[in-house]
Structure 1
Amino acid sequence: MALILKQQDFPTPDTRLQLTVSYGETDRMGYAYYGHYPHWFERARGQFIRDRGMSYAEVETRGVWLPVRDMAVRYLRPARYDEVITVRAGIAAWGRASVTFVYQVFGPPDASWLLAAGETVHACTSPQGRPIAVPDWLRGLFSA
């Protein structure tokens, strides 16, 4: 996995989701707990799909499930309590039966500081968990 650390190398189309780090998402030091980043990635991924006119639930209703097969996160700087952060999501690669989403988390002091970068690889499966080829409609939807 090669995490994307430069803004200019990020794939398009992309989605940006703004969040405020809540008190409950922080540890004793006031830093966002590392385990929340994958959840923020999932929220940005859901927004990426919604921005293209469909919900995650609708994708599943059409018989396509996208379970996470692999995940990587690189933490560069901490997000802190009550900071506004932006989670950017896009698609970096397609496999025959998989799709790779990439993420960047930006935050203060000027909303352009890269706090973390991540990646999730999703298998494309039937509801029964059997691998299926990425449908053309899904590739088209995500590429629009």
Structure 2
Amino acid sequence: MISRCETTVRYAETDQMAVVYHGNYFTWFEIGRTTLLKEIGYSYKELENKNVMLPVIDVTCQYIAPAKYDDVLIIESKVDKVMGARVTFSYNIIRKDDNKLLAKGKTTHAFVGKGFKPINFKKHFRDCYEKLNKYSQ
């Protein structure tokens, strides 16, 4: 299953040539990830209130074509895999006007408690774990 949401490139996200600064793609990945989590019924806030943190432990981004000021972007997000105390999400950033793939990436997160010790997410949050697994199919 793929989650989709949109954002419009703001002027502050670009350089003098109206091209998006590369670091902003990671913010868009986060927008996609939080949207996906809300779609399955869990927000970051709710997980954090239950003492579950999801720090990024690995991130990649392949830049294919530049996003520019005022482009409307589609952020596609999906769960690649949930394994043990980790979850990996993948993303596509697509320009809406011409459906061009601009970038793709992945983030891997650990399920940890407030003390940053890994937790058995499947054992303590079975419902969320199963919904994340459904999104990976």
**TM-score of the superposed pair, with normalisation by structure 2:** 0.90
**Kindly tell me: are residues 53 and 108 of structure 1, through their superposed partners in 2, closer, same or farther at Cα, counting changes over 3 Å?**
closer
The CA deviation at 1:138 is 2.2
Instruction: Provide the alpha-carbon RMSD of the alignment.
Output: 1.3
Q: Residue 9 of structure 1 corresponds to which residue in structure 2?
A: none
SS in 1 for 2:119: coil
Alignment pair present for 1:104 and 2:120: no
Q: Residue 131 of structure 2 corresponds to which residue in structure 1?
A: 141
Q: Which of 54, 57, 72 lines up with 1:69 in the alignment?
A: 57
For the residues of structure 2 that align with 1:65 and 1:85, how far apart are their CA atoms?
Answer: 28
The CA deviation at 1:134 is 2.4
Q: Residue 16 of structure 1 corresponds to which residue in structure 2?
A: 4
Letter in 1 for 2:102: L
Letter in 2 for 1:86: I
Q: Residue 83 of structure 1 corresponds to which residue in structure 2?
A: 71
Alignment of 1:44-55 (within 5 A): 44-55=32-43
For the residues of structure 2 that align with 1:128 and 1:108, how far apart are their CA atoms?
Answer: 41
* Residues paired across the two proteins, number: 131
Letter in 2 for 1:139: Y
Return 5+ residue gaps in structure 2 as ranges. none
SS in 2 for 1:87: strand
SS in 2 for 1:88: strand
**TM-score of the superposed pair, with normalisation by structure 1:** 0.86
Following superposition, which runs of at least 4 residues in structure 1 exceed 4 angstroms of deviation?
A: none
Q: Residue 26 of structure 2 corresponds to which residue in structure 1?
A: 38
For the residues of structure 2 that align with 1:118 and 1:61, how far apart are their CA atoms?
Answer: 28
